[in-house]
Amino acid sequence: MKQAKLHIDRHFQVGEVDKRIFGSFIEHLGRAVYGGIYQPGSPLSDKEGMRKDVMELVRQLQVPVVRYPGGNFVSCFHWEDSVGPKELRPARPELAWFAIETNEFGLNEFADWAKKAETEIMMAVNLGTRGVDDAKNLLEYCNLPKGTYYSDLRRSHGVEQPHDIKLWCLGNEMDGPWEIGRKTPYEYGRLAAETGRVMKMMCPEIELVACGSSLWTMPTFGVWESDVLKECYDVVDYISMHQYYDNYDNDTAEFLANSTAMDRFISQVVSLCDAEQAKQRSSKKINLSFDEWNVWYHSKEADKKIERWTKAPRQLEDIYNFEDALLVGEMLITMLRHADRVKIACLAQLVNVIAPIMTSDKGAWRQTIYYPYYYTSVYGRGRVLQTLVDSPLYTTKNNGDVPYLDAVMVECDDGSLSLFAVNKSLEDDITLSCDLRQYEGFRVERHIVLDHDDMKAENTEEHPDTVAPKSNGASSMENGHLSAVLKKHSWNMIRMTID
Q: Which residues are catalytic?
A: 173, 292
Asked whether position 348 contacts ligand AHR by CB under 6 A, the answer is yes
- Cα distance between residue 149 and residue 312, in whole Å: 33
Asked whether position 292 contacts ligand AHR by CB under 6 A, the answer is yes
Helical pair 322-337 and 258-279, crossing angle rounded to 10 deg: 30
Judge contact between 167 and 207, C-beta under 8 A: yes
Asked whether position 70 contacts ligand AHR by CB under 6 A, the answer is yes
Quick one: which of 24, 39, 45, 72 contacts ligand AHR (CB under 6 A)?
A: 72
Residues 204-233 that bind ligand AHR (CB under 6 A): 214
Q: Rank residues 39 and 72 by Cβ distance to ligand AHR and give the closer one.
A: 72
Helix boundaries (H) for 158-312: 185-202, 223-232, 252-256, 258-279, 300-303
Quick one: which of 172, 377, 387, 418 contacts ligand AHR (CB under 6 A)?
A: 172
Asked whether position 321 contacts ligand AHR by CB under 6 A, the answer is no
Shortest separation between residue 184's beta carbon and ligand AHR, angstroms: 19
Binding part of the chain for ligand AHR, among 70-78, 155-163, 264-272, 381-389 by CB under 6 A, reads 70-78
Three-state DSSP state, 118: coil
Residues 241-260 that bind ligand AHR (CB under 6 A): none
Strand order in the sheet with 430-435: 388-390, 2-7, 430-435, 481-486, 474-478
Binding part of the chain for ligand AHR, among 54-62, 69-77, 143-151, 464-472 by CB under 6 A, reads 69-77
Shortest separation between residue 72's beta carbon and ligand AHR, angstroms: 4
Measured distance between the N- and C-terminal CA atoms of the chain, rounded to whole angstroms: 32
- Cα 426 to Cα 100, 245, 272, 390, 454: the distances in Å are 44, 19, 36, 18, 11
Which of 123, 60, 179, 146 minimizes the C-alpha distance to 346?
123
Q: Rank residues 284 and 300 by Cβ distance to ligand AHR and give the closer one.
A: 300
Residue whose CB is nearest to ligand AHR in the complex, by number: 71
- Cα distance between residue 111 and residue 115, in whole Å: 6
Asked whether position 349 contacts ligand AHR by CB under 6 A, the answer is yes
Shortest separation between residue 176's beta carbon and ligand AHR, angstroms: 7
Asked whether position 173 contacts ligand AHR by CB under 6 A, the answer is yes
Find the length of the chain: 499
Positions touching ligand AHR (CB under 6 A) are 27, 70-72, 172-173, 214, 292, 348-349
